[in-house]
């Protein structure tokens, strides 16, 4: 199948493109390259464009005879969403509406949507697919709005969709071909690795007084390649006129301090950190119950070990530094 991948030059989107190509599909990347990287869009045709450009997207869908869309193009910084909600609702909600209407123009009726555990808000237990969704920041709210739009578009226009709600994506392609490169970097694991590598002076731990065993936030980390596998599996359950949603996580929570300890153990380097005030919009606990994804998608994570995620990220980071040193 031919799959249009919006945001396919980004961290998760590029890994999904590689998984699609390895499964025998042809990914077509649509990306505006504001946060993505052209070097990561290497597994099929590339279209420079923005999801807000309805005619441009519809043309790409028609020209490449796309069968299915996978939608990753979005803004995803919780803190930024609180200070600048306007750009989040414009990009994530209006952009998704534009994409769906371009699909209608081109006669494409199936989509896999990159959603998030941030749609749930504060939950003090493992989160199942049917948990009440009460987001506490505009980022999560914007993604929940798109899920609702997908439900309505399924009922009104027959567009079938699967929303995959990620918990904390981490790790990198084990071959070192792809990895996590953000500017600015806000994710805990790559920041901790940068401190271990000596390219960043210290790590800020935002909040040490949460109601958790060591006072720091607990998150469920999921390897980006396992996320990619779930997207390929989702192709098999798409049905016209039906909306489905699945949580993607390992079901194990690690606190910020536990992550720092494991980074130090895997890399053999010290990670200097300091306590900082809590960030708005951060819940204390986010851990998935991904039973439905395992049963209904036949999805089995290959890299569930946090140490594997750290090791793969560390290898990619060192390879990147070696390449820069050689130029």
- Domain limits, the chain: 2-170+222-248, 188-220+251-284+303-326
Closest CA to 220 of 240, 261, 241, 248: 248
Tokens linked to 277: 């005030």
pLDDT tens across 244-288, in order?
A: 999 999 999 999 999 999 999 999 999 999 999 999 899 999 999
Q: Which residue has the tokens 């490169």?
A: 181
2-170+222-248 under CATH 3.40.50.720, yes or no:
yes
Asked if 73 and 51 count as a contact pair (C-beta separation under 8 A), the reply is yes
How far, in Å, are 49, 92, 107, 154, 299 from residue 6 at the CA level? 9, 12, 17, 20, 23
Reported as a pLDDT band with limits 50, 70 and 90, residue 324 is very low
139 is catalytic: yes
Asked if 60 and 28 count as a contact pair (C-beta separation under 8 A), the reply is yes
Asked if 262 and 196 count as a contact pair (C-beta separation under 8 A), the reply is no
Reported as a pLDDT band with limits 50, 70 and 90, residue 325 is very low
Asked if 15 and 227 count as a contact pair (C-beta separation under 8 A), the reply is yes
pLDDT tens across 129-181, in order?
A: 999 999 999 999 999 999 999 999 999 999 999 999 999 999 999 999 999 99
Confidence at residue 184, expressed as pLDDT on a 0 to 100 scale: 86
Asked if 147 and 163 count as a contact pair (C-beta separation under 8 A), the reply is yes
Give yes or no for residue 60 having a pLDDT over 80: yes
Label residue 238 exposed, middle or buried (CB < 10 Å: 0-12, 13-18, 19+). middle
Options 3.30.70.580, 3.40.1190.20, 3.40.640.10, 3.90.25.10; CATH of 188-220+251-284+303-326: 3.90.25.10
Taking the C-alpha atoms of residue 302 and residue 83, their distance in angstroms, rounded to an integer, is 37
Taking the C-alpha atoms of residue 225 and residue 12, their distance in angstroms, rounded to an integer, is 8
Tokens linked to 305: 């070990």
Rounded to two decimals, the pTM is 0.95
Catalytic: which of 139, 153, 210, 221? 139
Confidence at residue 322, expressed as pLDDT on a 0 to 100 scale: 59
- Of the listed ranges 212-226, 234-248, 307-321, the least confidently predicted one is 307-321
* Residue 242 C-alpha from the chain's centroid: 23
For residue 98, the SS3 value is helix
């Amino acid at each position: 199948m031919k799959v249009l991948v919006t945001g396919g030059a980004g961290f998760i989107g590029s890994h999904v493109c590689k998984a699609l190509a390895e499964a025998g599909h042809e990914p077509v990347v649509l990306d505006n390259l504001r946060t993505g990287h052209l070097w990561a869009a290497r597994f099929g045709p590339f279209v420079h464009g923005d999801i807000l450009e309805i005619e441009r997207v519809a043309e790409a869908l028609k020209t490449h005879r796309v069968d299915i869309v996978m939608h990753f193009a979005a803004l995803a910084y919780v803190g930024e969403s609180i200070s600048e909600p306007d750009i989040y609702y414009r990009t994530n909600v209006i952009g998704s509406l534009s994409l769906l209407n371009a699909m209608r123009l081109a006669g494409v009726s199936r989509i896999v949507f990159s959603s998030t555990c941030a749609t749930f808000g504060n939950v003090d237990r493992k989160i199942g697919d049917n948990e009440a969704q009460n987001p506490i920041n505009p980022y999560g709210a914007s993604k929940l709005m798109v899920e609702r739009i997908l439900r309505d578009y399924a009922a009104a226009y027959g567009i079938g969709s699967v929303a995959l709600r990620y918990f904390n994506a981490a790790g990198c392609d084990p071959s070192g071909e792809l990895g996590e490169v953000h500017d600015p970097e806000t994710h805990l694991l790559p920041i901790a690795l940068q401190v271990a590598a000596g390219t960043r002076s210290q790590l800020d731990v935002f909040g040490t007084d949460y109601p958790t065993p060591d006072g720091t936030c607990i998150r469920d980390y999921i390897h980006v390649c396992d996320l990619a596998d779930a997207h390929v599996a989702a192709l098999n359950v798409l049905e016209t006129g039906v909306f489905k949603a699945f949580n993607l996580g390992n079901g194990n929570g690690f606190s910020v301090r536990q992550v720092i300890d494991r980074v130090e153990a895997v890399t053999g380097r010290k990670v200097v950190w300091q306590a900082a005030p809590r960030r708005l919009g951060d819940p204390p606990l986010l851990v998935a119950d991904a039973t439905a994804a395992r049963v209904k998608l036949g999805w089995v994570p290959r890299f569930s070990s946090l140490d594997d995620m750290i090791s793969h990220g560390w290898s990619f980071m060192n390879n990147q530094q070696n390449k820069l040193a050689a130029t």
